Chain A
Amino acid sequence: MDTELTEAEARAALDKIEHSRRRVIDEIDMPQWYWNGVALGWVVLGVIADLQISWLTAVATVVFGAVHASVSSRLLGGRHRTDRLSVSTETAGRHTVLIIAIWLMGLAGVTVGLALLAKADGAGHPVTIASVIVALLVLLGGPQLMAALRRRAARSANGQ
């Protein structure tokens, strides 16, 4: 290597590189409108389920799933919060999409569990109650989940 760089200069350069990488990691996120939309859709589905019209519930579920799939296919990994940058999969973490999808599926399970509990307790609209609670979890937990994924990406970058 034909360079006269000192250790301090090399460290400063590595710090600069890390700083740039952190800036990109800070962009890993999903827009708030996505979480708002999921929460709203969750409540609407809950209300429809409580109407106990099975065909309507089935159609609403399919529509919700289709709309979510089309929107989330681009957003779910948190790599495109802004249209000015595409965070690489390597930086965002290869399992980010899977983690978010599992979290959302887990919330579906929580909704069913809460609805069964509410029904056993004699509540008039058990699925609506459960879906409102889970919608709040989506609104509050979604951004928290993304913050955790950013921390994970930063740790992963440091471990390289």
Chain B
Amino acid sequence: MSAAPRFDEIIHPSTRLSIVALLAAADWADFSYVRDQLDLSDSALSKQFATLEEAGYITVERPLTDRRRRVRVRLTREGRTAFDGHVAALRQIVSTATQAAATL
């Protein structure tokens, strides 16, 4: 991962960090999959998705499969860039602290 470090306030809150990390490892995930993995209520997850969608980090699709209404979520290119930058920023904090400790 060679993204420029950039701390992202939208991604960092715990629940959204877990959501984006799940989506970053997948092409797409079903609403119910994310909900079950993170043990969230439908309304709580919808709220987090709305925030991420508003930021342009995810897209929410509603394909009609097997006559069931499903909600499929995927990370956008902007979302992936922001996530990669956020991970790089976290790693930079850790490595800076490690280097500082080593010089003491």
Give the interface of A toward B (CB within 8 A).
1-3, 5-7, 10-11, 13-14, 16-17, 19-21, 23-25, 79, 82-89, 91, 157, 160
**Interface majority SS (helix, strand, loop, mixed), chain B:** helix
Could you tell me which B residues sit within 8 Å of A by CB distance? Answer: 1, 5-7, 12, 14, 17-18, 21-22, 24-30, 32-33, 37, 65, 87, 89-94, 97-98
Do A88 and B25 have beta carbons less than 8 Å apart?
yes
Decide: A13 near B12, CB < 8 A? Known: A1-B5, A3-B7, A20-B21.
Answer: yes
Which chain B residues lie closer than 8 Å to A16 at the CB level?
14, 17-18, 21
Give the A-B pair count, Cβ closer than 8 A: 87
21 contacts across the A-B interface (CB closer than 8 A) = A1-B93, A3-B7, A6-B93, A7-B94, A10-B91, A10-B93, A14-B90, A16-B14, A16-B17, A17-B21, A20-B22, A21-B21, A82-B33, A83-B65, A84-B32, A86-B27, A86-B29, A87-B26, A88-B25, A89-B27, A91-B26
Residues on A with beta carbons closer than 8 Å to the beta carbon of B5: 1
Is there an interface contact between A20 and B18, defined as CB atoms closer than 8 Å?
A: yes
Q: Which of A25, A85, A160 contacts B29 (CB 8 A)?
A: A85
- A residues within 8 A CB of B26? 24, 85-88, 91
Sorted from nearest, which 4 A-B pairs have the closest CB atoms? A20-B21, A7-B97, A24-B25, A84-B30
| A89 CA / B27 CA spacing, docked (Å) | 8
Is the beta-carbon distance between A21 and B25 smaller than 8 angstroms? yes
Which of B12, B22, B93, B97 has a CB less than 8 Å from the CB of A23?
B22
- Closest CB in chain A relative to B23 CB, distance in Å: 9
Supply 6 further A-B pairs (C-beta < 8 A) apart from A14-B87, A19-B18.
Answer: A6-B93, A7-B94, A19-B21, A21-B22, A23-B37, A24-B25
